[in-house]
Structure 1
Amino acid sequence: MKSQIAALLLAASAVFPTMADTLTVKSDAPKRYVVKKGDTLWDISSLYLNSPWKWRALWQQNPQIDNPHLIYPGDILSLGQDEHGNPILVIDKGVRKLSPHVRIIAEKGTAIPTLPLSVLEPYLSYDQALEQNDIDGHPIVLGANKNFKMSITGHLLYVKGNLVQGGNYGIYRRGSAYKDGLKTLAYETILVGTARALNAGDISEGVPSTVKIETVKREVKAGDFLMPLPQGQDFKATFKMSRPTEAVDGTIIASSSQHSEFGPMSVVVLNVGSKQQLVEGSVLDILRQSPTVVERGGTPKYLEDSSSLDKLVGEIGSWFGEENSENSTVWHMPSEKVGELMLFKVYDNISYAMVMKTTQPAQIGDSVTN
């Protein structure tokens, strides 16, 4: 009987769309909105939708605008309906005076970003998460033209590695390890300065490269390593927000602030990445595990407030999957959603994400899922 009911429900779901698939606009969403400098796509999406990652379903591309998936300051967005009664958002054609042969081409780089670039830029253009093997493969600072223990702007450095003459390089230091339990996934790389290569060098002949320090954030030391800097603003500013289609089970393992709790606009590190089919723009929920309760003799107590015996019962029950004993019952409470985040830089087993909204401060150890 149960299998027959399940089959009927499955067939019905194929014919009738579920409420989760319905695009619902907020009741207080503005009918018209003028895009301002400093806006982000997430901000505007949140004005109209409780689920900002469904933005593309609401936003209708205007064929008269170059790069129609982008929005620029000064654009006027109008909320309406299509021929089927579905909500749509378009650029107000009544405001833009366009001839049939003229296309609007906005100045490069002025489109509003998905997330605030002032927060993302250091991570997109400088900071990285690297495995030890990757770090070991980069040129390292041997010393300076004088016996400086720590070098600053203007000093010359000698580097073990064949650099490109005239090339611009970031000088990095290995930071703390990003760990998943006892396993090290990658290391934080800390930008300590930038330099320009004056001479390329030839390591095969024992001749080091020479660089001149141009900027410093921290004193440069022997053993720091170099990586080429991107030329110009070639980092990604817009992302296609989406919910992953595959199941995701990850954890927040670090934060950029080094704090144990953090709120919106904080950058965090996750122990999941492209190997879990995640991409830049993936939106995940942040879940908090509710505390375990041990009921003993009809009296429930939180596990951390229980006696040593009850704690032992709870721990043993977790190890062996035994929830009940003669006198005690272990209640494992569900996890609750406390926020959302969006990935903006993805590696194999690790990702950088920005916390977008929270109902209470997110924490190291919180779960992330779709």
Structure 2
Amino acid sequence: MARSKTAFLLSPRTLAAAAALVAGSGLALTVLAQNFPVTPQQRSTAEQVAAAGVPLSELAPNAPDTYTVKSGDTLWGISGMFLKSPWRWPELWGMNMDQVRNPHRIYPGQILYLEKVDGLARLRIGQPPAGTALDTVRVSPRTRLAGLVDTSIPTLPPHLIEPFLNEAILVNDAETLENAPRIVAVPEDRVLITQGDRAYARGMTGTPLVERDPRVSDNFRVFRNATPLRDPGTRQVLGFEAKYLGSAELVRGEGVKDVSSATQAATMLVPATIDITRAKEEIRVGDRLLPEPARMLGSYVPHAPVHAVDGTIVSVYGDAVAMAGQSQVVVINKGLADGVETGHVLAIQKAGRRIVDRSKDGERAHLQLPDERNGLMMVFRSFDRLSYALVLDVTDVVRVGDRVVNPR
């Protein structure tokens, strides 16, 4: 049934509200995230694999012959079913480029099956070869009205990454923090404020907080206690991570008011007016604000770096946390300047213990056991010298100071 599209003209404020809806909806985030072109590197890899197929030795030991995609699946999970290395998703796509033209678009209900010929495997979509038993579901024709919603499955569960796209505050230098506008007053007889409350803010230099410009966002992130993130080896400050408290919207910009009297001409600064639109924690005088950045939607297609990466975990996201587990977010000391980009999959290395070998003749030898792989992580947002990464799987706890390197 043909469906028509209707175009709407939206004001900047309406667009901001729509962005907020996207931020609150994992599905919406998934819809936008899937709408990205295939990168030349992904296409090149896929074309190479499509030409020859994948050796059976590269398949996962328990790779299923057939699999029906379900709602809630992810590309990472499906890739892990069929391949030993889930980050090699372009190769899984490349097994069947004729049918899967965009690796970001796999849909629930599609049947995937492995075709194995002459020691090679290709992934097909559609009905499997004759003789494969499948459940049959009989349906009757009916009419259904539905919006133009993309139901393709995401690379990773959106709810694991989305909070850090909305909340994480990471800046490169201390000057940005020192010059950030600050809250100077809250409603009378109040010490702490929360969602729905009004407050007043000004810049450190007394300049206007923000001019009312339709091209500039009126939305801000409220933060406190910016912590320097240092390179574990050099102790160099790579950036500052601030504690996210909530979000605010600018109502009126900062200005001046004439308070002249009969005997004296004078003006006074009038702070900007803000409304707290979201509060993760209670907000107070002295807390600071930074403009909310543009939405950073990525395709999140996992892939190994083409160059050598040898980095370190410098922080675990959260309050006073030094260890992380699966599905937690960490900060590493490699970023855009080091060639680290969104989608890069890195192996987490657990440092080998130091032991003492005692021989029969009483000799004591100090030994350093080799580092062992402890899991995988995927970078989902990169800054100049730092990156946020999601721990995808892990065999033991991840600690600040653990190395991250290219996956094998």
Structure 2 CA distance for aligned equivalents of residues 164 and 72 of structure 1: 43
Aligned to 2:108: 73
* Structure 2 match to 1:139: 181
| Alpha-carbon distance change, 260 to 168 in structure 1, aligned in 2, over 3 angstroms | closer
Distance 1:198 1:85, change over 3 A: same
Q: How far apart, CA to CA, are the structure 2 residues paired with 1:184 and 1:40?
A: 36
Q: 1:212 to 1:31 in 2, by over 3 A?
A: same
1:52-74 deviation per Cα after TM superposition (whole angstroms, max 9, x unaligned): 11111121465677845322333
Q: Is the 8 A contact 1:125 1:235 kept in 2?
A: no
Equivalent pair of 1:62/1:91 in contact (CA under 8 Å)? no
SS of the residue corresponding to residue 173 of structure 1 reads strand
Within the alignment, does 1:56 sit opposite 2:79 as a pair?
no
CA contact (8 A) 1:168 1:229 kept: yes
The AA in structure 2 aligned to 1:42 is W
Q: 1:102 maps to which residue? A: none
TM-score, scaled relative to structure 2: 0.67
Partner Cα separation in structure 2 for residue 51 and residue 106 of structure 1: 36
**Contact 2:55–2:119, Cα closer than 8 Å, also in 1:** no
2:190 match: 148
Are 2:324 and 1:262 aligned?
yes
Task: Evaluate the alpha carbon distance shift between residue 21 and residue 133 of structure 1 in structure 2; reply closer, same or farther with a 3 A threshold.
Answer: farther
- Look up the equivalent residue of 2:244 and give its one-letter code: L
What residue number does 2:253 align with?
200
Equivalents in 1 of 2:109, 2:79: separation in Å?
17
Offset at 1:346? 1.0
Aligned residue number for residue 216 of structure 1: 279
Show the 5 A alignment for 1:6-45.
Answer: 24-45=58-79
Q: TM-score, normalised by structure 1?
A: 0.73
CA contact (8 A) 2:254 2:273 kept: yes
* CA displacement, residues 196-249 of structure 1 (integer Å, 9 cap, x when unaligned): 222123489833221122221111122322234467xx5426312111122211
1:88 Cα deviation from its structure 2 partner: 2.3
Deviations 1:21-41 (A, max 9, x none): 987112321222222222222
Matched, 1:162 2:210: yes
CA distance in 1, matches of 2:148, 2:271: 43
Amino acid at match of 2:104: H
Describe the superposition over 1:178-209 as per-residue Cα deviations: whole angstroms up to 9, x where unpaired. 22233332222222122222212348983322
Specify every segment of 5 or more residues in structure 1 that has no aligned partner in the other structure, as ranges: 1-19, 96-104, 301-326
Q: Which amino acid aligns with 2:397?
A: P
Amino acid at match of 1:53: W
Identity %: 31
1:63 and 1:207, CA in 2 relative to 1: closer, same or farther beyond 3 A? farther
Q: Name the amino acid aligned to 1:178.
A: L
What letter matches 2:223 in structure 1? Y
Q: Distance in 2 between matches of 1:23 and 1:29?
A: 11
Matches of 1:357 and 1:122 in 2, distance apart?
A: 19
Q: Equivalent residue for 2:26?
A: none
Cα distance, 1:344 vs. partner? Answer: 0.8
Query: Is residue 159–residue 210 contact of structure 1 (8 Å, CA) maintained in 2?
Result: yes
Q: For 1:351 and 1:261, how far apart are their aligned partners in 2?
A: 17
Is the contact made by 2:353 and 2:369 (CA closer than 8 Å) also made in structure 1? Answer: yes
**Secondary structure of the corresponding residue to residue 72 of structure 1:** coil
Q: Which amino acid in 2 is paired with 1:250?
A: G
What letter is aligned with 1:244? P
**Range with bigger deviation, 145-154 or 211-220:** 145-154
Residue 272 of structure 2 aligns with an amino acid whose one-letter code is S
- Aligned partner letter, 2:190: F
The counterpart of 1:88, out of the listed 81, 98, 122, is: 122
- TM-superposed CA distance for 1:288, in Å, is 1.5
Are 1:72 and 1:106, in contact at CA under 8 Å, matched by a contact in 2?
Answer: no
Alignment of 1:352 with 2:388, yes or no, is: yes
Provide the alpha-carbon RMSD of the alignment: 3.3
Q: CA offsets, 1:40-59, max 9 Å, x none?
A: 22111111112111111121
Query: Is the 8 Å Cα contact of residues 90 and 103 (structure 2) preserved in structure 1?
Result: no
Residues 89, 163 of structure 1: CA spacing in aligned structure 2 closer, same or farther, 3 A cutoff?
farther
Distance 1:178 1:148 in 2: 34
Shift of 1:287: 0.9
Preserved CA contact (<8 Å) 1:23 1:87:
no
CA contact (8 A) 2:181 2:288 kept: yes
> What is the CA deviation profile of residues 150-194 of structure 1, one whole-angstrom value per residue up to 9, with x for unaligned ones?
222332211211154783332222343322233332222222122
> How many residues are aligned here?
313
**TM-aligned CA deviation for residue 254 of structure 1:** 1.8
8 Å CA contact 1:269–1:351 kept in 2: the answer is yes
The question of 1:340 aligning with 2:376 is answered yes
One-letter identity of the residue aligned with 1:76: I
Unaligned runs of 5+ in 2: 1-53, 129-135, 137-145, 203-208, 258-267
